[in-house]
Structure 1
Amino acid sequence: MNVMTWNVQWCRGVDQRVDPARIASEAKRIADFDVLCLQEIADNFPDPDLGGSAGEDQFALLATLLPGYTAIPGIAVDQPAKNGRRRHFGNMILSRHPVKQVYRHLLPYPSDPGVPGMPRIALEAVVSAPLGDLRVITTHLEYYSALQRMAQVEALRTIYAEGHAHARDGRVTMDDGSPFQTFIRPQWTVITGDFNFEPDAPEHPRMLAAFDDGAPPLFDAWHVAHPGTPHPSTFCIYQKTDSSGDELHCDFIFAGGGLEHRVRGMHVDQQTQASDHQPVTVTLDL
């Protein structure tokens, strides 16, 4: 089972052209993905608000461009626009396998005066993989504010541990058709996305820290797939978006709940120039 994560920069490539169809075709070229996790999807943000965009609804376009996948939008930014429509910005999950419960977790946004920022979410879908259910969580953490980013890391840990507690509580699926219908939360979990920190930043070891409530710790899937090998850069390889001008590694796939022995491989595609980030794919024995 292949899970891909990609920050697509509102579908804008290094050539500054916004092209959702190119994102879909490049993703399919890179991997036969079962689940695709995308960050920076936009709707109704025309240029100059987001450079190169015509204001297209990228959530709807990508759903159309990838038939056979269940498309799940995760809107973090929801604002009024001058044209009378709402405008949206956020994440998206597309799954080839059936999707059970979906959760949209609003992440902390503490005040940090003078620092730019925006609302952030973690989008979670429980996917029915061939060998069992899998929690897939994708997110895009704060870029500018270290205060907000660390608060969001703590929230991700809480979300993971809370779901694991549900998985341990022994409840069974209750299919009564009501809003109280119960879906079992599985232990197997992947948390993907653009975390806007590097491996040597304090947020990384915090993601991997032990829990006090019995939840197994998360692990960085790259280090299981390629022990002793540095993770390739995933940002600013072709487009120097970051002010430092350096290539960065800030796109990760963390996993937990007993998946350590099910990681079969992991790959960073450093060839595509369809975004300022590079897609990352993990292969799981599921």
Structure 2
Amino acid sequence: MRLVTWNTQWCCGNDGVVSVERIVEHARALADFDVLCLQEVAVNYPRVQGNAAHDQPAIVEQLLPGFQVFFGAAVDEWNEHGRSRFGNLIATRLPVLQVQHHALPYPADDGVRSMPRMCTVVTLRDPALGPVRVLTTHLEFYSKKQRMAQAQALRALLLEGSEQAAHPPEPSDDGSPFRSKTHTAQAILCGDFNFEPTEPEYGAVTQGGGIDQWHDSWRLLNGAAPHAPTFRIYDRRFGPEPVTSDFVLVSNALRDRVRSLRIDADTQASDHQPVAVEIA
């Protein structure tokens, strides 16, 4: 499976131009992906930089014939422009078995800028790997309290899914919503986590114990070598030095199947850099 993950900043490049087409073009140049995971995807936000008044998930679907596109809105609101949505997207050409959208914790943090966050999960069938849960997310930037709660929730989602795979519900083929689902311990979590590898939230996500654990693909391939940066390479508005905040994590069942990881450090189609992994 070839997967690309990218925080697109509503498809706004460092030149201030919003272009969904440019994002998809650069992602395709990085890898012939089976799965594309995008964060910060917008519907009807004309006042953001560059103007994202259009329906970006619909444009992605048009640009990727043969793919199914699943958009999870962390923010779904009505304002002076009508209905506006903002969230994450998974597009895949692989057969899809199930789609879930999980709201992440949003504890109060008085006076701190923030927005709701969520995680989209698509269970798909890869011809080599079999069933795989692909999760994509974008955690809170400003509130450390919320970000830690969300990191802990992502670990809980892994444990819950792996427990379901180990101890599945009662079988059913009655055609109702209780019909048996595909449960698998093979899982991939990717996105913009808004923390660095040295921060406590990273440890909260990758903590061991229980039936399963998230493993950082970079460290599986590179050991203790410093992570290559994915943020603030060109745009330094949010800090003085380049950092890594975009990760691809895998469950125990896939830790020995990560073959490669590439970061496009050259593109400025967003303020983040896209990451491509191959898992086989």
| TM-score above 0.5 | yes
- Does residue 33 (structure 1) correspond to residue 33 (structure 2)? The answer is yes
Which of 50, 66, 80 in structure 2 is aligned with 1:68?
66
AA matched with 2:213: P
Which of 214, 217, 232 in structure 1 is aligned with 2:213?
217
- Does residue 230 (structure 1) correspond to residue 223 (structure 2)? The answer is no
Match of 1:10 in 2: 10
| Aligned equivalents of 2:4, 2:95: Cα separation in 1 | 17
Match of 1:278 in 2: 273
| Aligned equivalents of 1:60, 1:256: Cα separation in 2 | 31
| Aligned equivalents of 2:261, 2:149: Cα separation in 1 | 28
AA matched with 2:214: L
1:179-218 correspondence to structure 2 within 5 Å:
179-212=177-210, 215-218=211-214
Q: Name whichever of 245-254 and 174-183 sits farther off.
A: 174-183
Match of 2:20 in 1: 20
The Cα of 1:115 is off from its aligned counterpart by 0.3
1:103-134 CA distance string (max 9 Å, x none):
10000000000100000001100011113010
Give SS of 2:236's match.
coil
| Aligned equivalents of 1:142, 1:54: Cα separation in 2 | 21
Match of 2:246 in 1: 251
> Cα–Cα, structure 1 residues 184 and 11, in superposed 2: closer, same or farther, change >3 Å?
same
The Cα of 1:179 is off from its aligned counterpart by 1.8
Q: Name whichever of 161-170 and 138-147 sits farther off.
A: 161-170
Give SS of 2:159's match.
helix
The Cα of 1:228 is off from its aligned counterpart by 3.2
| Aligned equivalents of 1:45, 1:175: Cα separation in 2 | 43
Contact 2:168 2:183 (8 Å CA) reproduced: no
Match of 1:94 in 2: 91
| Structure 2: tracts of 5 or more residues without a match | none
Give SS of 2:154's match.
helix
The Cα of 1:172 is off from its aligned counterpart by 7.5
Match of 1:143 in 2: 141
- Does residue 113 (structure 1) correspond to residue 110 (structure 2)? The answer is yes
AA matched with 1:114: G
| Structure 1: tracts of 5 or more residues without a match | none
| Aligned equivalents of 2:167, 2:121: Cα separation in 1 | 20
| Aligned equivalents of 1:257, 1:224: Cα separation in 2 | 11
Give SS of 1:261's match.
coil
The Cα of 1:260 is off from its aligned counterpart by 1.4
The Cα of 1:176 is off from its aligned counterpart by 3.7
TM-score of the superposed pair, with normalisation by structure 2: 0.96
Give SS of 1:55's match.
strand
1:206-238 CA distance string (max 9 Å, x none):
2121233xx122111111122232211001111
| Aligned equivalents of 1:86, 1:79: Cα separation in 2 | 6
| Aligned equivalents of 2:101, 2:78: Cα separation in 1 | 21
Contact 1:76 1:88 (8 Å CA) reproduced: yes
Q: Aligned-residue CA RMSD in angstroms?
A: 1.3
| Aligned equivalents of 1:194, 1:228: Cα separation in 2 | 21
Contact 2:105 2:149 (8 Å CA) reproduced: yes
- Does residue 158 (structure 1) correspond to residue 173 (structure 2)? The answer is no
